[in-house]
Amino acid sequence: MHARAFALALAAVIAAAPAPRASSQDKIRVVTTSADLKSLVEAVGGDRLEVESLTAPEQDPHTVEIKPTQLARLRGAALIVRIGLDHEPWFARLPVPRVPVVDASRSVRLLQTQTPRLRAERQAHVHAFGNTHYWLDPHNARPITQAVLAALTALRPDEAAAFEANRNAFLSRLDARISAWEQALKRLYGARIVVVHDSWAYFAERFGLQIVAAAEPHPGISPSPAELAALFKRMRDSNVRILIADPHANPALVQQIKERGGARSVTLLPSAPDYVALFEENVRRLSASLGPD
Ligand SMILES: [Zn+2]
């Protein structure tokens, strides 16, 4: 469909959607672009919000297809919270209402921002402005929820104290769990790993894993046979023990890297409905991949 016709069709879908009912106890309607952001927004807003995510955790965030149900969710939103940069290329095609948008990437220290080889690359790719998977360092929940707190407070100044108390309670709980996760992953400190898609830069930095290489030569691009051969050699030369795959990685590719590169593979979750549970599960999977002490 032509871009303009597509935009008009989207507008029609929005217009046809039923108007939101005068909301239950006047809750603030928030739309996020990911389930992880939804979880973090809820941690601050608690029951004063009604939050919906435009994507499900199991979807590849870079290649989501926009559906009418997503468009309906945007209607009536008072606040939008997104990952930003080029993480959600589909976001630019949405008829976004004129409400405040929190771009959480502005609140964190980004990794891999200086990658001129990516900028020079002609093929379509993602992470061109830095690695966008920053929520996978649990310490980044602090600046992200700070940005959310500021936006919610601007919308409802009289509820600022409640939002702040929610956030503080969440961060205390999270800090306690971060210590437990660091302890659980101590055995892996300094371990050399390979990833399929580079979702894991922030997670690796936090927990002391060394990413030797990503199978995708550029984020979002499949490796050529020559690139794969170089990867296998590199994995064997640097004694890589673990391959981390995302759930939407090509299973044949994962199997091939595992066999030819000589590493164990573990599928970690880059996204989950609950932010703390996301790390609980990934720490459990990583520990299990190592076997008993
Ligand atoms: Zn990515």
Q: How far apart are CA 29 and CA 159, in angstroms?
A: 15
Q: Do domains 3-179 and 186-290 have the same CATH topology?
A: yes
Q: Decide if pLDDT at 47 tops 70.
A: yes
Query: What's phi and psi for 93, nearest 5 deg?
Result: -90, -5
CA 219 to ligand 1 centroid distance, Å: 6
Q: Is 127 left (phi over 0), alpha (psi -120 to 50) or beta?
A: left
CA 35 to ligand 1 centroid distance, Å: 15
Strand, coil or helix: what is 192? strand
pLDDT band at 1 (very low <50, low <70, confident <90, very high): very low
CA 128 to ligand 1 centroid distance, Å: 10
Cα-trace Rg, the chain: 20
- Average pLDDT, stretch 57-82? 90
CA 127 to ligand 1 centroid distance, Å: 6
- For residues 109 and 119, the model is more confident at 109
CA 25 to ligand 1 centroid distance, Å: 38
Please give the pLDDT value at position 72: 87
pLDDT band at 241 (very low <50, low <70, confident <90, very high): confident
Mean pLDDT check: name the lowest of 6-15, 20-29, 217-226, 236-245. Answer: 6-15
The predicted-structure confidence for 127-138, as pLDDT tens digits, reads as follows: 889 999 999 999
Contact 155, 29 (CB under 8 A): no
> How many Cα atoms occupy the beta-carbon half-sphere of 11 within 13 Å?
6
Q: Decide if pLDDT at 111 tops 70.
A: yes
Mean pLDDT check: name the lowest of 14-28, 40-54, 201-215, 252-266. Answer: 14-28
CA 287 to ligand 1 centroid distance, Å: 24
pLDDT band at 14 (very low <50, low <70, confident <90, very high): very low
Please give the pLDDT value at position 219: 85
Please give the pLDDT value at position 22: 44
Please give the pLDDT value at position 291: 74
CA 21 to ligand 1 centroid distance, Å: 37
CA 220 to ligand 1 centroid distance, Å: 7
CA 131 to ligand 1 centroid distance, Å: 7
Mean pLDDT check: name the lowest of 111-125, 141-155, 263-277. Answer: 111-125
Q: How far apart are CA 207 and CA 189, in angstroms?
A: 7
Please give the pLDDT value at position 75: 87
- Quickly count: other Cβ atoms within 10 Å of residue 5's Cβ: 9
- Average pLDDT, stretch 46-73? 91
CA 61 to ligand 1 centroid distance, Å: 8
Q: Which two tokens stand for residue 76?
A: 């009536």
pLDDT band at 2 (very low <50, low <70, confident <90, very high): low
CA 200 to ligand 1 centroid distance, Å: 9
The architecture that CATH gives domain 186-290 is 3-Layer(aba) Sandwich (3.40)
Range 45-48 contact pairs with CB under 8 angstroms and sequence separation of 24 or more = 45/148, 45/152, 45/163, 45/166, 46/162, 46/163, 46/166, 48/156, 48/159, 48/162, 48/163
Strand ranges inside the chain, DSSP E:
28-32, 49-53, 79-82, 101-103, 192-195, 210-214, 242-245, 264-267
CA 90 to ligand 1 centroid distance, Å: 14
CA 247 to ligand 1 centroid distance, Å: 13
CA 217 to ligand 1 centroid distance, Å: 12
Contact 164, 149 (CB under 8 A): yes
CA 129 to ligand 1 centroid distance, Å: 11
Q: What percent of the chain has pLDDT over 70?
A: 87
CA 198 to ligand 1 centroid distance, Å: 6
pLDDT band at 237 (very low <50, low <70, confident <90, very high): very high
pLDDT band at 10 (very low <50, low <70, confident <90, very high): low
CA 125 to ligand 1 centroid distance, Å: 9
Q: Which CATH class is domain 3-179?
A: alpha beta
80 Cβ neighbours under 8 A, 6+ residues apart? 30, 31, 32, 33, 74, 96, 97, 99, 100, 101, 102
Q: Decide if pLDDT at 157 tops 90.
A: yes
Please give the pLDDT value at position 21: 46
CA 62 to ligand 1 centroid distance, Å: 7
SS3 of 84-98: CCCCCHHHHHCCCCC
CA 197 to ligand 1 centroid distance, Å: 6
Q: At what angle do helices 225-237 and 251-261 cross, to 10 degrees?
A: 40
CA 251 to ligand 1 centroid distance, Å: 18
- Average pLDDT, stretch 54-83? 91
252 Cβ neighbours under 8 A, 6+ residues apart? none
Please give the pLDDT value at position 160: 97
Instruction: Give residue limits of the domains in the chain.
Output: 3-179, 186-290
Q: Record the pTM.
A: 0.88
CA 64 to ligand 1 centroid distance, Å: 12
Closest Cα to residue 293, out of 177, 181, 178, 184?
184
